[in-house]
Amino acid sequence: MLPDTAQQVNCMQTALRSLLSLRVLSPSSKQHKRHLQPYPHMKSARAFFDRLNQDYLTIHQKECELFWLTHTGQSDDHDAQGTAGLARRTFLADAQRLAQSRDHLARIEASAQCDERDGLVTGLRGWVAAFEGNAMGSERANVLLAELIKMDADLFARRQAYKMHHVGASGLTEEASPATLRSNLASNPDDASRKSSHEALHGLERWVLDNGFLEIVARRNALARELGYRDFFDYRLRTGSGMSPEQLFAIFDEFERSTREAHFAALNRLVMEHGDAALQPHNLPYRMRGGAAQKVDAYFPFSKALERWAESFRRLGVSYRGARIEIDLLDRPGKFPTGFCIAPTPSYRDDSTGWVSADVRFTSTARPQQAGAGLQGLNVLFHEAGHAAHFSNVARNSPCFSHIYAPSSPAYLETQAKFFDALPGDPCWIRRYARNATGEPMPDDMLRSRVESNQAFLAHAERRDLVPTYFERALYAMDDAERTMESVLELARSLTLRILGVPHHTGYVLSMPHPIYHDIAVYYHGYLLAKMAASQTRAYLTRSLGYIVDNPAVGPLLAKHYWTSGNSLTLDQTLRNMTGESLTSAYLATECNRSPREAWALAQEAFERADRVAPLMATGEGDLDASISIVHGAQRIATNEASLPAMYAEFEAWIVRSAQVA
C-alpha cells in the first residue's frame, strides 16, 4: 500500500531541502547518497509494514473468534482454536520477519526526517519489540512450542468436560463452577455446605495434577532451557515482563515483610473471636466476610450492575472511541471460570486510513441468585471494562501496540483493570451508587461497618496474590523427578502456611486457570504489581484532583498517560509520566497497614471533599462512545442502540425474568 499523497509530498519536500543543504558535498559522499534516495527505502518499508499489520490482524482475529466461542461454551472445536493460536505464535516468533523489520528500521532511521519516516520508525520499532519478545530461536524450540500448544488445547478440552458438584444454598447437591464454589465458601452459613465446596476445589487441583499438567511443566522447562533460560519461570518473566526473578522478588519480599505484622494481627483477632476452627480452609472466607455481609448484598443487586458500570465510567470521562463492545456476564456450564477480555480488532491509527475502532469482548461469571453475586459480578465487570477501555484507546499506528503478548507485560495490562475494579469498594462510590431495591442508599453505620471489616483483612487479600507467584517459581525450579502430585500439593500447602498463616491449605492455587494454561502461565505476578500501580495512581489523582469518583478528568488522564502509547512504553514509564514516580509497593503497603478506624477516618475526609465538589461532579454529560451488546452465549439480551437507559432497562428486565424461571 502506498503512502497517501500528503505524506509523499512531505517526504519529498524534506528530501529536497536536504539535497539543497548538501550541494557543496561530493556526489560520492555517503551523506549525499543517503539524502538522494530516501523515498525508495520508504516505499519498500511502507509495503512491508502495512503487510505486517494486515497479516497479523487476520491471524489475530481468527484466533480471537475461536477463543471467544470455545471460552464462552459455544463451541468445542478446541483443535481449531489451538491451531489458530499456534499460527499467531509462529507469526510472532518468526526470525525472518524480525530480521526484515530490523533491516527496514535501520534504513528508515538513517533517512531524512518527515512525517512518513517518523511514523514508520514508530511502527517498525513496535514490531521489532514484538518479534524479539516472542522469538523462538531454534527449530527444536518451535517443535517444543507446537507440542505444548497441542497439550494445552487437549487439557483445556478435558477440563471443560470435568464436572464439579457441591451442596449449594438450597441444601441440595448441584453442579458448580469454580466461581460458584468460591462464592459458596464465602457466603453459605452451613459448615457442611462450605466443606463440600472446599472439597470440590481441592478435587479439581488433584484432577489437574493427574491429567497431564506435570508433563506440561516439564515440557515448558525444556522449551525455556532450549532458549537459554534457567527454567520456564525465568524465561516467561524476562520475555513477558522485562525483569528477572531476582528483581521481582525484591519487590514481593519487601511487600511481604511490610504487611506481615498487620496480616497476622488480623488472623489472631479472628481466632480470638471464632476459635482455631476459623482458620480451617472451608471456614476462613466465611469468617472474614463477616455476618453483616448479607445485609450489604441488598445494596448491590446484579440487575443494576450494568447501569452502575456504564454510569460510573461515563461520569469518569472514559471514552471507548467508537468501539464495538460485546459483554457476556452470566456463569454457565462450559464457560471459562474467570472473566476475560479479548480484542479481535484492537484500536490503532492506520497511517493511510486513520482511526480503527476496536472490537472488544469481555465476560463475567455472575450467578445473580447467589449470595454476594451482585458485588462480585460488579467487580469483574469493572475489571474487564477497564481492559476494554485500554484496548479501545491505543493510538499508535499498528495493532502490535495493543495486544496481550510481549512486550505487553502482565503488570501493565492489569493496571488498567485494577484501577477500575477497586471503585465498587471505594466508600465514596458506595455512598453515591449503592442502593437497595427501593432506591435507598446504604446507611452510614452499615457503610462504616463494611469499610472497617474490609480493612481488617485487606493485608490478607493482597498477600493472597503472592502465593501463586511464589508457587510457580518453586514449581519450575523442581527437578522433573521430584515433581509429583503429593510434592506439588505439599509445596502449595507450605507456601500458604508461610505467607497466609493458614495450615493444611493449598490456597486452591491449582484450581485457578493461570498456572495451568500456556498463555497465562507466569502471569499472576502481574495482578499484585498492578494493584501496587493502581494504588499509586489513586494516591496521585487524589492529591492532584481532590477526588476520583465521577471526576470527568480521570478518563482523559488515563488515556493520555496509560493507554494511548500502548506497549511502546513500559508500566514504569507510564507511571512516571502520570505520577512522577517509578513503581513502588509503598502505597499499597500503607493501605494494608491502616487500622479499621484509620480507614473510616480517611473515608470521612473523602466524603467531605466530595460534598464540596458535588455541584461540579459529572451527571448527564457525555457518553461512552461505544456500540454495546449484552449477550448470554448466542442470545442477545440488550443493546444501547436506542440509548443507554433503554439498555439498562432491557438488561434488568431480563435478569428478573431469568430469576423467575430459575
Same domain, residue pair 253 and 313? no
CA pair distance 536, 541, nearest whole angstrom: 9
| Residue 40 pLDDT | 78
Is residue 615 included in any domain, yes or no? yes
pTM: 0.93
| Residue 168 pLDDT | 94
Strand 359-366 with 348-350, pairing: unpaired
Same domain, residue pair 342 and 425? yes
Is residue 150 included in any domain, yes or no? no
CA pair distance 299, 438, nearest whole angstrom: 10
Is residue 585 included in any domain, yes or no? yes
Is residue 157 included in any domain, yes or no? no
Same domain, residue pair 460 and 475? no
DSSP string over 403-452: SSSTTS-HHHHHHHHHHHHTGGG-HHHHHHH-B-TTSPBPPHHHHHHHHH
| Residue 367 pLDDT | 87
Residue where one domain finishes, among candidates 485, 505, 520 = 520
Q: Which three cell numbers stand for residue 92?
A: 510472532
| Residue 18 pLDDT | 40
pLDDT tens, residue by residue, 567-580 = 999 999 999 999 99
Same domain, residue pair 541 and 655? yes
402: closest CA among 364, 365, 355? 355
Q: Residue ranges of the chain with pLDDT lower than 50? A: 1-9, 12-38
- How many domains does the structure of the chain reveal? 3
Same domain, residue pair 476 and 383? no
> Based on the number of CB atoms within 10 Å of its own CB, is 190 exposed (0-12), middle (13-18) or buried (19 or more)?
middle
- Domain range for residue 565? 293-465+524-661
Same domain, residue pair 345 and 438? yes
Determine contact, residues 525/241, Cβ cutoff 8 Å: yes
Task: Give 185-189's long-range contacts (Cβ < 8 A, gap of 24+).
Answer: 185/282, 185/285, 185/286, 186/285, 186/286, 186/288, 186/289, 186/293, 186/372, 187/286, 187/289, 187/293, 187/294, 187/370, 187/371, 187/372, 188/286, 188/371, 189/286
pLDDT tens, residue by residue, 267-284 = 999 999 999 999 999 999
517: closest CA among 75, 154, 24, 54? 154
Determine contact, residues 185/192, Cβ cutoff 8 Å: no
Is residue 484 included in any domain, yes or no? yes
Is residue 375 included in any domain, yes or no? yes
Same domain, residue pair 363 and 488? no
Residue 570 belongs to a domain with what CATH number?
Answer: 1.10.1370.40
Same domain, residue pair 492 and 606? no
User: How many residues in total does the chain contain?
Assistant: 662
Is residue 298 included in any domain, yes or no? yes
φ and ψ of 135, to 5 deg:
-65, 145
Same domain, residue pair 607 and 509? no
Same domain, residue pair 175 and 55? no
Same domain, residue pair 127 and 208? no
CA pair distance 434, 110, nearest whole angstrom: 58
CA pair distance 448, 604, nearest whole angstrom: 9
Same domain, residue pair 450 and 490? no
Is residue 149 included in any domain, yes or no? no
